[in-house]
Structure 1
Amino acid sequence: MNHSILVVDDEERLAIVLAAALEDMGHAATAVGGAHEAMQRLERERFDLVLTDLRMPDMDGRALLGEIRRRWPETPVIILTAFATVRDAVELVKEGAFDYIAKPFEIDHVAATVARALRLADVVRDNERLRGELDGRYNLGTLVGDSASFRKVIRQITEVCETRATVLLTGESGSGKDVVARAIHFNSPRRNQPFIAVNCAALPENLLESELFGHVKGAFTGATANRIGRFAAADGGTLFLDEIGDMPIGLQAKLLRAVQELTFEPIGANRSQKVDVRLIAATHQDMRAAVTEGRFREDLFYRLNVFPVRLPPLRERAGDIPLLAADFLRRLADSMGKRITGFSPAALSAMSAHDWPGNIRELHNCVERAVIVARNPVIDLPDLPQDLFSNVRRGGREGLPQDLDAELERIERDFIIDALQRANGVQVQAAKLLGVSERSLWHRIKKLDIRLARKVAE
């Protein structure tokens, strides 16, 4: 990777020679003769590293370091200093300089110190990029929907983000509980701390206990080393306990203490460990029924149910389907490098008529499949998965059709007749409504034996 380095020294010949040496190492180096000129360059350009002399007239290296730390804190600074002022350079390292190089110096020493500083700069930049991606992915603006039921969810999330209250997310599988949990974390004061997720239904009881609380070496057969648990890993941040309703009853007592006191013992340990963790739990189960049936501890339920948020299934927010589908289409088309601009009215009508038992996850999969197979800029009915029509809500039909071809033909006929009625029988306008060419519509009308009048009869 080609890095950009700024060399600052009032001995301009030394600055030029050092910049040339850095360029021989494969870097892009710029030499300037003072701190004021360095500040002007930093305001105009981005540098991955600054090497600056300590003793300079007007503005010295200490003052320059202070300005860089204040305005560009992600940029590492290496101090160049004469041997007699090494003690000052050590103090500057404590104030935030990456390291110092004593004059006269060996180029090999410079190369090694610069390499270490640039590795740090790369890590910081990658972390910033990932953080930006996470913030962009989980900011509240990415929670798509305008239905009354989903606006209520957004309002609840906004209310609870800034608190440290425990949140219980309930809703059917695929309704977006994981995304909402992450949105709560990344819009909270803990956003810069860890977000740790555990699926309580994915592991048996003995493994889940070790996963949550960790263990010490020798605690059980196979425990060959100490292991930190998810509670400890989430210290300072958020712990997301997904599918909490499936947690074994035997483990719930230990979890209750951890939730109440934020204290636990790793398996095999004889000393308690305290953590500062914000808890978010999620389940698709009816937790009150689980408590009544003895499958879930009542005291633990009330500890988790401090701030309940119910995520509505997609069938209860059908008006959000076009918005969600358009959002998925934009992201998926960009990632696949395909130029797809939208959905035909027929495709949107078909998606709006579907019950979506798999909720948002199923809709995402449907759009992804359509993007893969689509050959035109607009996704049309044939691009959608054919099983999408197996339980549409038309005419009170439920379950699988007896004849899939006949059912699809009936649906296509309904869409065409509906478009022709809206267009008063004008095929050009009806074709535009359906997102197909006039020739394609004519062939479909002929294939389905739809009889046309000046105005199509109902």
Structure 2
Amino acid sequence: MSDGEFGKPVILAVGDVLMVGDREKILRDAGLAVEHVADGAAALAFAQKPVPQVWLVGERLPDMEGVALLRALRERNLSHTALIALKNEGEPTANRVRGAYDFLIEPVSALKLVTALRNARERAMLHAAVEDLSPDMGPAGYFGFIGRSVAMRSVYRMMESVAASRATVFITGERGTGKIVCANAIHKAGPNAGAPFVCVDCTAVAQDKLDASIFGYAPELEIDTDFGPGGAIAKANGGTLFIREICALDLPLQEKILKFLQTGSHVPFGNSTDGQVPVNDVDVRVICDTDRDPMKEVTAGRFRQDLFYRLHVLPIHLPALRDRGGDAVEIAGRTLREAAAEAGKRFRTLTPEARAAIAAYDWPGNVRELHSVIHEAVAAHDGVSLSVDMLPSFLGGAIANETPESPQDAEKPGAAEDASASDMQTVADDPHEDEGPVLKVDIGITLADMERNFIEATIDACDGSLPRAAKMLGVSPSTLYRKRDSWTMGR
């Protein structure tokens, strides 16, 4: 493997962490590329390589403590890394695993170890994606997605990377996060974009018709499905078969899916496998998704472990809307203009209070819920700007204590001095754009002061709430707390 080859990070095992049972063989059989070094010094030398890496570090190494190695790696601010610490049961946890992406307490099962490493590998790939985002993709979205947050830019890069492949993709994420949009985008970005894209929803098709719907059925049978006698596989020939909620399949049908993925052939429903020549003249790319936690399904015995490993070659996890920074406001603005155009309404923008309410809400139903809220508001109201009182009360309540500055407040003694001291001024909203208030920065201000003033202005706009300000800025609240602490200590 060449250094820097995207999508194939090396898993580096440090010390004797693989010297338990057949761990090394298990990892390799699961498709994980593993390298091994004996001690911390060799690990730090390996860290000079520019490949995405996952580190598996034991509690104690021949030349240092495992926590010392984790600290040394963090001090180097290495990119494209995910660190996993293996700890012995009974050891203190709080300080021993600081700096690790994940930690596992021995004894660790093979399934848990493989899953942790796969998740860490995906994280390393996503971090690499942020720095390698294609310039022609644009900052605001990708094939129907809207949003420019770091989390989504990582997903866009992953989607672009896997689109060129014909390998199976497994999409996970909460309901409403856009898994159908993701599958469509991968298909449209791939080499067979003009070929069929066929979706089978395993929760919408009767269980006794799923086999015939996917694989087709014997000619002598008369089964009413949406995909004809050849099934969805035949209908998707040359293109993409999207299996929605694959965890809803029963175990026998999961086994049939696994065999199809392994061999490329299948036997239609109603045909005996004994002496029956399988159908193998189809060329189909398979994409699957699930709203469930697939690992919990495997542990509960409801989902085949071997199928999980086979599907998890190219995993994509879609973040919840609450984890996407300011994307909610951007999605709301775009949805508002589209819904208004469809309904013949005048809406162009969201008021600042409406934007603040949308940014502050957690959106448990994700993008789907946001779309519904905006469409309902457009149907019930009209105007140039959508105000917070036009939104459901549960949104207005999030900023019930926030009121816009009154003209009298602006004329209070000292108001001009306060504006000058902040080095920034708020400019009136453009009624034709939905980008929020514009901030004008005085020439000569340092970059550090500009950042501080911008953050403080955002916190003030959120009535002093750091969590809400963090949502609007697209960072974690801990980042704002750390910056404020550093400003205090620097006085």
Tell me, in whole angstroms, the C-alpha distance in 2 between the residues paired with 1:220 and 1:319.
Answer: 52
CA distances 1:168-212 after superposition (whole Å, capped 9, x unpaired):
111000000100110110111010100001111222332111110
Tell me, in whole angstroms, the C-alpha distance in 1 between the residues paired with 2:234 and 2:380.
Answer: 45
Contact 2:347–2:384 under 8 Å retained in 1: yes
Aligned residues: 276
Contact 2:345–2:382 under 8 Å retained in 1: no
Structure 1 stretch displaced more, 360-369 or 370-379? 370-379
Q: Give the residue type in structure 2 aligned to 1:272.
A: P
Kindly report the root-mean-square deviation, in angstroms, between the aligned alpha carbons of the 2 structures: 3.1
Q: Give the residue type in structure 2 aligned to 1:349.
A: A
Tell me, in whole angstroms, the C-alpha distance in 2 between the residues paired with 1:237 and 1:290.
Answer: 29
Match of 1:204 in 2: 206
Tell me, in whole angstroms, the C-alpha distance in 2 between the residues paired with 1:298 and 1:236.
Answer: 28
Match of 1:419 in 2: 405
Tell me, in whole angstroms, the C-alpha distance in 2 between the residues paired with 1:229 and 1:420.
Answer: 65
Match of 2:322 in 1: 315
Contact 1:211–1:230 under 8 Å retained in 2: yes
Offset at 1:431?
Answer: 13
CA distances 1:209-238 after superposition (whole Å, capped 9, x unpaired):
111011123347889x97120011111000
Distance change (3 Å), C-alpha of 1:208 and 1:188: same
Distance change (3 Å), C-alpha of 1:369 and 1:425: farther
Structure 1 stretch displaced more, 180-189 or 239-248? 239-248
Distance change (3 Å), C-alpha of 1:424 and 1:434: farther
Q: Which has the larger Rg?
A: 1
| Structure 1 runs, 4 residues or longer, greater than 6 Å off | 220-223, 429-435
Offset at 1:328?
Answer: 0.9
Tell me, in whole angstroms, the C-alpha distance in 1 between the residues paired with 2:194 and 2:285.
Answer: 13
Contact 1:420–1:430 under 8 Å retained in 2: no
Match of 1:83 in 2: none
Match of 2:369 in 1: 362
Tell me, in whole angstroms, the C-alpha distance in 1 between the residues paired with 2:411 and 2:369.
Answer: 36
Match of 2:245 in 1: 243
Match of 1:379 in 2: 386
The one of 303, 310, 332 equivalent to 1:325 is 332
Tell me, in whole angstroms, the C-alpha distance in 2 between the residues paired with 1:374 and 1:324.
Answer: 19
Distance change (3 Å), C-alpha of 1:321 and 1:245: same
Contact 2:267–2:279 under 8 Å retained in 1: yes
Match of 1:218 in 2: 220
Normalised TM-score (structure 2): 0.52
Match of 1:349 in 2: 356
CA distances 1:127-167 after superposition (whole Å, capped 9, x unpaired):
xxxxxxxxxxxx92532111111111011011111111211
Offset at 1:386?
Answer: 2.4
Distance change (3 Å), C-alpha of 1:424 and 1:222: closer
Identical aligned residues as a percent: 37
Contact 1:354–1:389 under 8 Å retained in 2: no
Unaligned runs of 5+ in 2: 1-140, 416-424, 432-462, 465-491
Contact 1:219–1:267 under 8 Å retained in 2: no
Match of 1:267 in 2: 269
Distance change (3 Å), C-alpha of 1:383 and 1:229: same
Which structure features the higher share of helix residues? Answer: 1
Distance change (3 Å), C-alpha of 1:335 and 1:259: same
Q: Secondary structure at the match of 2:146?
A: coil
Alignment of 1:54-453 (within 5 A): 140=142, 142-219=144-221, 227-269=229-271, 270-274=276-280, 275-389=282-396, 392=398, 411-412=399-400, 414-416=401-403, 419-420=405-406, 424=410
Tell me, in whole angstroms, the C-alpha distance in 1 between the residues paired with 2:322 and 2:345.
Answer: 29
Offset at 1:265?
Answer: 1.2
CA distances 1:67-107 after superposition (whole Å, capped 9, x unpaired):
xxxxxxxxxxxxxxxxxxxxxxxxxxxxxxxxxxxxxxxxx
Distance change (3 Å), C-alpha of 1:389 and 1:379: closer
Q: Secondary structure at the match of 1:264?
A: coil
Q: Secondary structure at the match of 1:265?
A: coil
Distance change (3 Å), C-alpha of 1:188 and 1:222: closer
Tell me, in whole angstroms, the C-alpha distance in 2 between the residues paired with 1:188 and 1:322.
Answer: 30
Q: Secondary structure at the match of 1:263?
A: coil
Offset at 1:432?
Answer: 6.5
Q: Give the residue type in structure 2 aligned to 1:262.
A: G
Contact 1:240–1:281 under 8 Å retained in 2: yes
Contact 1:366–1:385 under 8 Å retained in 2: yes
Normalised TM-score (structure 1): 0.56
Q: Secondary structure at the match of 2:315?
A: strand
Offset at 1:434?
Answer: 13
Tell me, in whole angstroms, the C-alpha distance in 1 between the residues paired with 2:376 and 2:155.
Answer: 29
